[in-house]
Structures are given as C-alpha cells and as structure tokens.
Amino acid sequence: MEWLAPVAALLGVIVGGVLNAGLTAEFERRRELAAATVAARLVREELKLIRDTVRTSLRDGRWGAILDPGLPYARGLWAVEHREGRRDESAWTAHASRLAGCVTSDDWEALAIPYERIDRTSLWFWTDDPNRALDDKARDFLRTLSESIDPAIRAVEPVAQGMRKTRLQRLLGSS
C-alpha cells in the first residue's frame, strides 16, 4: 500500500492539470467572444451609418453625404475642404480580426462585401465635389452597395448579441 500515496498524488496532479486547462480554455473562449461582441456592435453601427449615408446620397441624387462627412472606410472619397483633416479609423479595419473566429464563412462573406464595394467606390467614381450629380452608373453601384448592407448587418447580429456562430451550431440549430 506504499504506492497508494504517490499514485493518489499523481492522479491529483493530472486531474488538477486537466481542470486548469479546461477552465483556462473556457476563460479564453469567453474573453474572445466578449471582444468579438464589442467588435460586432461597432461594425454593425458603422454599417448602419454607411447604409444611411448612401441612401441619403441616392435620395438627394448627388455625392454630398458620401463626401461630407464621408463614408467610413472609404479611403479616397472625401470633400476637398476636409482633406487635411484626420478620419476616425473604420470599425471594420480595427475589429474584423476579432469577428473572424465567431462567424461562419458565409457570414464573413456577407460582412466583407459592403467594404469591398466601398473600396471600389473611389476607384470607379472619384470626385471631391459634394454637389456633383450621381449618374446612372453611380446610382446603380450605390444601390448595390446599399442592398449589400442589410445582409451584412444580419450576419453580424448574432455576435453583437453575444453568440458565436459556427457551421456546426447552424447545422444543429443552436447558437
């Protein structure tokens, strides 16, 4: 029976190590989800602002709202009188990496589409005149951009509510 004490001690170390590893992994998972929740809320609000800005320009029929105050994340489009100023960093640029592990690949695609279109806006329609009228090509492009935003908001909403969505969770119907 002399071996019982060392075996019990060894089992205690093993069980303690497994418990510690499990608790550490759970703590890290929750920390990542909390950071992703904040990121999702910021990106969601940015997407809403982009949607409203684009809709205002479409309603007005000119580039005004898109140039002044400007689309978040749009690197090139900005009214000339603000060129020397500093823009706030986009929530997408700052926080996309925190979202990547908490959304499915389909949701990631939905999130990326509006930002890819914003990138192309200044390449295809460069202007610095807020009073410049939107031509048909610009209107179509901006409508497509606007239509891509609601699916992106829906994609980020579960994470903004504190839920991690994985493909397995979607297949199982849980969150």
Q: What is the pLDDT of residue 59?
A: 96
Tokens of 89: 């960093």
Query: For 41-55, how does the pLDDT look when each residue is reduced to its tens digit (9 = 90+)?
Result: 999 999 999 999 999
pTM of the model as a whole? 0.76
Q: What is the pLDDT of residue 175?
A: 45
DSSP letters of 89-151? PPHHHHHHHHHHTTS-HHHHHHHHHHHHHHHHHHHHS----TTPBP-HHHHHHHHHHHHHHHH
Please determine, for residue 167, whether its predicted confidence score (pLDDT) is greater than 50.
no
Give, rounded to a whole angstrom, the gap between the first and last alpha carbons of the chain: 50
Q: What is the pLDDT of residue 147?
A: 96
- pLDDT-wise least confident of 2-11, 33-42, 43-52: 2-11
Q: What is the pLDDT of residue 90?
A: 84
Please determine, for residue 101, whether its predicted confidence score (pLDDT) is greater than 90.
no
Q: What is the pLDDT of residue 109?
A: 96
What is the total count of domains within the chain? 1
Structural domain boundaries, residue 87 = 4-172
Average pLDDT, the chain: 83
Pick 35 or 128 by higher pLDDT: 35
Query: For 58-82, how does the pLDDT look when each residue is reduced to its tens digit (9 = 90+)?
Result: 999 998 888 776 777 666 565 555 5
One-letter amino acid identity for 3? Answer: W
State the burial class of residue 66 (Cβ atoms within 10 Å of its Cβ: 0-12, 13-18, 19+).
buried
